[in-house]
Structure 1
Amino acid sequence: MSLFGQTAAASSANTTGDISKDVALNAPPEDGISDLKFSPQSEHLAVASWDKKVRIYEINAQGGSEGKALFEHEQPVLSCCWSKDGTKVVGAGADKAARMMDLSSGNTTTAQQVAAHDAPIRCARFVDIPQQNTQMLVTGSWDKTIKYWDLRQANPVASVNCQERVYSLDVVNTLLVVATADRYINVVNLNDPAKFYKTIQSPLKWQTRVVTCFNDGSGFAVGSVEGRCAIQYVEDKDSSANFSFKCHRAQQTGVGNSNNTNVFSVNAISFHPQHGTFSTAGSDGTFHFWDKDAKHRLKGYPEVGGPITATDFSRQGNIFAYSVSYDWSKGYSANTPQLANKVMLHAVTGDECKPRPKTGGRK
């Protein structure tokens, strides 16, 4: 029994969500989808792909979509992000470069290189550094470093060595969390960005796939390859609220399999911008909405036709986007042309993502 009272494999009528009205994005990427991010200022969605492109779509109120801009890398793109003002989109990838398109310039086809590493760049995010008068870019690479970039300069402002290859990073306010191979998680206070405020081993026993910060910057969620998610607070005084739970697991069926469980990777975690609840999505092709404070699963959704590789909520939280494409969890041999490759838009309605009412003094 998990701390949420039931694993993601369990379901009942009131916790099973509906994906029948989810709308597919028009003209999706031609290869695996590695990342997607909504603009913080408008109804636009950036999508990064193994086809070496970052695409920007406009989403209308009915869920319709139209491609508005596109730029290319020399190798697969592994990450994308938006500037706070919604005018700039950055892609980062296997060509060891980060490239930026300035949409305010009217340019919709080319991007300038703004960052470089000695190995593929796995993650890129815009950050606000206190006492700095400009938003910066932070990049995390398989060269075992994170670098900060003032986009007006050719060289990084600072470079910080990590223990291992960077697999995931996220930022909210002054909290930057960097997850690497060998289960290291580095916490950075952006008031002092050139050093680690704290380093821990992941509370999960197997490889980290994703870290995502809470909306208030007090902590973060960790997802791993063993179908588990951990809720972790930064400060020791809040450590009693740390916990982990099982998700993205399914009982095997058939004679003799009753005690066996299939375990799937947790590939993506996203927090709802208003409610602070969060989603998990995985290699099993399902996504779920959770309330971390009530330790409760809000909704679980049916399998969508392939692994889910990336997710994000729109700025108002009324749209949940998820990409369906191969995630390499079963190796090279399982990658076939028949696999789905699409981005779906799910309208968030009713109480799908609303926290549970607080009862009986339970937090």
Structure 2
Amino acid sequence: MSTTESSQFELVNPPEDGVSKVIFHPSDPNLLLVSSWDKTLRLYNVEKNELMKTIDTGAVALDCCFGENNTAFYGGLDHKLTKVDLETGKTEVIGEQNGPISTICYEAETDRVFVGSWDHTLCVWNASMKKKSHEVSVKHKIFSMDLRNKILVVATSQRKVFVYKTDDMSEVWQERETGLKYMLRCIRLMPNGAGFACSSIEGRVAFEFFDLSPEAQSKRYAFKTHRHIVQDTEVVYPVNTLAFHPRYGTFASGGSDAVVNIWDGENRKRIKSMTKFPDEIACVNFNYNGTKLAIASSYTFDEGQRDFSKVAIYIKNVADHEVAPRNQQSR
């Protein structure tokens, strides 16, 4: 079966190099922001399959996110946190780090941007004032972050996870070491606020819970995924990306095996394995109401520079039976 399923289509005018992030607008189910190694930021209307805007970022953008009032933020290899007006394309630098910016999150309630960098720091910038309010050394490169309901989770290069309550960035709320034995790739908060999931380069995903009681901690687990038998040998692939469904709490995982899986984490079951895509899965993201899933199929530079087949972004129209937990599906 090809990737041209009836519920799925390919966006026009994709980036010309690897995709670093796809992220839907927090309140518009059809607006998608895409950052890329081709030094562009692209805004799509996925319902119309239309490229609305292309912004030249000047350097490789490793992450991006929406801001308020038709704005967005991006950062990357030039060390700069940049704000862009998505209507006019005008950009302004909010601040600068001492190393490449790997991940950013925006908190609308406070107009703050949380910036993780390879310079081992977590910084908080006031977007309007263009002023840094906090700088925290985490002693390791920051690879991934997520922010939801005033909880910020930070995944670092030494498998450490730092959890902050954004109302008080003066101290770490929790410092965790996951059950994963190898380098972390992605971390995402559960929609119900109970904890987070994180993935690693050795084909595993871990579920962790904030409640430190023995009962809650007994529910922690990790499982193997994105592994295939090739000529009688198990080949293990990095799990590059995770995304929780906003209504059901199930989640999608994407790996360097070019496969996207949908999981029922609570019941520890796989709901769906999607058809193999042309290249590695760099990023996945559900829109805010869970009706669409964006899938970036592109080379992720796991093996340094090499030829790759194509860069493509697919939009899957999501049916409830594909993402609902097994115990909530109609019989």
Query: How far is 1:262 from its partner?
Result: 0.2
- 1:351 alignment partner, SS class: helix
Q: Does 1:308 align with 2:281?
A: yes
* Pair 1:242-2:220 in alignment: yes
The alpha carbon displacement at 1:86 in A equals 5.9
Select which of 7, 12, 16 maps to 1:30.
Answer: 16
Task: For 1:20, give the aligned amino acid.
Answer: E
Q: Quick one: distance in 1 between partners of 2:150 and 2:219?
A: 21
Cα offset for 1:19? 5.5
Q: Secondary structure at the match of 1:211?
A: strand
1-structure distance, mates of 2:16, 2:41: 11
State the partner residue of 1:289.
262
Gaps of 5+ in 1: 1-15
Which residue in 2 is equivalent to 1:217?
A: 193
Per-residue CA distance 1:117-162 (angstroms, 9 max, x = gap)? 010000011125xxxx632110000010011111122330111111
1:124 and 2:104 matched: yes
Q: Which has the larger radius of gyration?
A: 1
Mind listing any 5+ residue stretches in structure 2 that lack a counterpart?
none
Out of 135, 152, 170, the position equivalent to 2:146 is 170
**1:1-363 mapped onto 2 (5 Å cutoff):** 20-21=5-6, 22-42=8-28, 43-60=30-47, 64-83=48-67, 85=68, 87-103=70-86, 106-107=87-88, 109-127=89-107, 134-237=110-213, 238-253=216-231, 257=232, 260-332=233-305, 335-336=306-307, 338-357=308-327
In the TM superposition, what whole-angstrom CA distance separates every residue of 1:260-294 from its partner, at most 9, and x where no partner exists?
A: 20000000000011111100000000000011111
One-letter amino acid of the counterpart of residue 243, structure 1: Y
- After TM superposition, the score normalised by the length of structure 2 is 0.94
The alignment covers a number of residue pairs equal to 325
CA displacement 1:178-200 (0-9 Å, x = unmatched): 01111111111123123211112
Amino acid at match of 1:218: A
CA contact (8 A) 2:3 2:277 kept: no
Q: Classify 1:19/1:194 alpha carbon distance in 2 versus 1 (closer, same or farther; 3 Å).
A: farther
Cα distance, 1:72–1:17 mapped onto 2, change above 3 Å: closer
| CA spacing shift, 1:296–1:19, aligned 2, 3 Å | farther
Any idea what SS the aligned residue of 2:182 has?
Answer: coil
Moved over 6 A (4+): none
1:5-51 deviation digits (Å, cap 9, x = unpaired): xxxxxxxxxxx998523211110111110001000121100000001
Match of 1:8 in 2: none
Q: Secondary structure at the match of 2:218?
A: helix
Higher percent of residues as strand: 2
> 2:90, 2:111 → 1: CA distance?
21
Normalized against structure 1, the TM-score is what? 0.86
Contact preservation (8 Å) 1:17, 1:299: no
For 2:318 and 2:174, how far apart are their aligned partners in 1? 36
Q: Does the aligned pair in 1 maintain the 2:46–2:315 contact within 8 Å?
A: no
Identity score, percent: 28
Asked if 1 retains the 8 angstrom alpha-carbon contact of 2:178 and 2:208, the reply is no
* CA RMSD between the two structures: 1.8
Amino acid aligned to 1:72: D
